[in-house]
Amino acid sequence: MYKRLSAVLFPIVTLLLIGSVVWGYQENQEKNSILIKAENQYQRAFHDLSFHVDKLHGELGNTLALHSASTGSQRKGLVNVWRLTSEAQNEINQLPLTLLPFNKTEELLSRISKFSYQTAVRDLTKQPLSDGELKNLKELYKNSAQISKDLQGVQDKVISNRLRWMDVETALAMQKEPQDNTIIDGFKTVDKKVGEYPELDWGPSVSSIYSKRSVKKLGDKPTTVEDIKAKAAKFVGAKNTAAVEVTENGRGTEWASYSAKVKTKKDGEMMNLTYTRNGGHLISYYYDRQLGKKSISYDDAKARAEEFLKSKGYPDLTPVSYDEFDDLGNFTCVSKAGEVLVYPEKITLRVALDNGEVTGMQASDYVYEHESDKISAKSTKPTPKLTLEQARKFLNSEYKEDYNRLAIIQNELSEKVLTYEFGGKVNGSAYRIFINADNGNEETVEEIKSSKS
């Protein structure tokens, strides 16, 4: 009996053993293949980074070598600088440097990219490079030479010692950095040197991109927890503050805020509100509830959104765009200075399409632009230099205009400019085109993808 049983089981066990060995071998091969592929991608990104930083240094030198009157060649050189810094930023993002402090170098490349792009897109015949900008370029030329030299030094060691990026990823993930990891030490050295470079004057247009919003910039007095409870209760229509729970975020920092939670009568549903600590301005509202089937039209939803804004103390805002997802409608509403739309001061509303209730609001742009801007659009009373007919001449001859209005927008140079907004169609698609109301420049073009129903 045992002989018969062993005669049957032995081949089965043998087959299972062979199968497990084959399976294990295949799994190991697949794992090795994935590791090799990842390593190759890291190596390519690193060597491309070194190459593009070296080319960046050369392109900065070429731009500086040009005559001041060669504005066309200067623009070409600055566009190449922008392209190369963008390539370098992309390659850094492909490397496993998430846990490695390399932020100073990344920020420098980002600033070079913004500076070169914003300088290249302007008319250099009317606004040539200033002495300050030329000084910046000379400093960047010198700095990029050092960065390129250091990266090439790391590259030489990687090649000669056959170093692997997978070891770097493992070391960073385990947060155990060996003292002799050449790649990690090399990148740390580069970032440390970049942090020691003198601060450059990038100008207001570039600096504004990196200026961090904080409650200190609002200039208002700090509010208390009790003030926030009262504000939250009033906003959601609660009879008292008993159902409001408030917590302080980022206490003692520039980004201090309050989070308020309001319990509803339905189990599991909660209203969440966020307020700035200075001034107690509402910057977000979110009511997560079960949605029913869509039963109201776009016009009904718009009317409810406008009614909500007026009832909550935002009477001068008007909806300018709309999109729809499932059973929710999203309106972007902007401030008005008389008849002029002020796009930087915007509030986004989320409307439930089952009954028209506003279940979400994002007002951070409105709060920081409206409250912290010392020169309010309403007080300056912007007046266009061009007439409507003059501005219309800068449109595509095939553009079929549906409407026009004055609007203040923030352009690519981070400047607030007065424009004529033209809505219409061309080539079968709908667009908003913003023409500078002072000089006729085409500031921006936006395609309108309507989802009204």
Asked if 43 and 189 sit in the same domain, the reply is: yes
- Answer yes or no: is 58 within a domain: yes
- H helices of 259-410, in order, are 298-311, 364-372, 377-380, 388-392
Backbone angles phi, psi at 162, to 5 degrees: 50, 50
Instruction: Report the C-alpha gap between 49 and 186 in whole angstroms.
Output: 14
- Answer yes or no: is 163 within a domain: yes
pLDDT digits (tens, 9 = 90+) for 206-218: 555 445 555 555 6
Tabulate helix, strand, coil % of the chain (nearest 5).
Answer: 45, 25, 30
What single-letter amino acid sits at 336? K
**What are 80's two structure tokens?**
């190449």
Question: Quick one: how far is CA 140 from the chain centroid?
Answer: 25
**Model pTM above 0.85:** no
Asked if 114 and 254 sit in the same domain, the reply is: no
DSSP letter for each residue of 246-301: EEEESTTSTT-EEEEEEE-SSTT-EEEEEEETBTT-EEEEEEE-------S-HHHH
**What are 444's two structure tokens?**
């921006």
Asked if 119 and 174 sit in the same domain, the reply is: yes
Q: Which helix (H) or strand (E) holds 130?
A: none
- Answer yes or no: is 420 within a domain: yes
Instruction: Report the C-alpha gap between 259 and 272 in whole angstroms.
Output: 7
Q: Which range of residues forms the domain containing residue 405?
A: 382-448
Asked if 206 and 273 sit in the same domain, the reply is: no
Asked if 206 and 221 sit in the same domain, the reply is: no
Asked if 371 and 418 sit in the same domain, the reply is: no
At which of 210, 232, 266 does a domain end? 210
Asked if 59 and 201 sit in the same domain, the reply is: yes
Would you write out the chain's pLDDT as a tens digit for each of its 453 residues? 555 656 656 566 566 666 565 565 555 555 656 667 777 787 888 888 888 888 988 888 888 888 888 888 888 888 888 888 888 888 888 877 665 667 778 878 888 888 888 888 778 888 888 888 888 888 888 888 888 888 888 788 777 777 777 776 666 666 554 445 667 777 777 777 777 666 666 554 555 544 555 555 566 688 899 999 999 999 988 888 888 899 988 776 667 788 999 888 777 688 999 998 888 999 999 998 888 888 899 999 999 999 999 999 888 898 998 888 878 999 999 998 888 999 999 999 999 999 999 999 999 888 888 755 543 444 456 789 999 999 999 999 899 999 999 999 988 777 889 999 999 999 888 999 999 999 998 888 988 876 554
Asked if 123 and 179 sit in the same domain, the reply is: yes
At which of 210, 245, 274 does a domain end? 210
